[in-house]
Amino acid sequence: MAKVGVEQSLTNIQEALREKGYDVVELKQESDAQNCDCCVVTGLDSNVMGMSDTSTKGSVIDANGMSADEVCRQVESRLQ
């Protein structure tokens, strides 16, 4: 199953993705994002983790204003 990096503050999204069988990694530092297929961030501060110049092979989802279900659907659609 895909590896999804999720910002620390998004615990409800981490739990929802784990329930769907994803390998969830908490994003604590920029190196955590490098091996993820997809990353979920809050978008409150676009560079809160110093990740603006980090290269990641996966897409980045801004979860601001989205429910956990909506984020899960975004992850699923981007990983297909």
- The per-residue pLDDT for 34 is 84
pTM of the model: 0.82
Q: For the chain, which residues make up each domain, given as ranges? A: 3-78
Given this model, what pLDDT does residue 5 score?
94
Instruction: Note the pLDDT of residue 76.
Output: 95
Cα distances from 16 to residues 10, 20, 21, 49, 71, in angstroms, run 10, 7, 9, 23, 9
Tens of pLDDT, residues 18-75: 999 999 999 988 788 888 999 999 876 555 555 554 556 678 999 999 999 999 999 9
pLDDT the model gives residue 51: 52
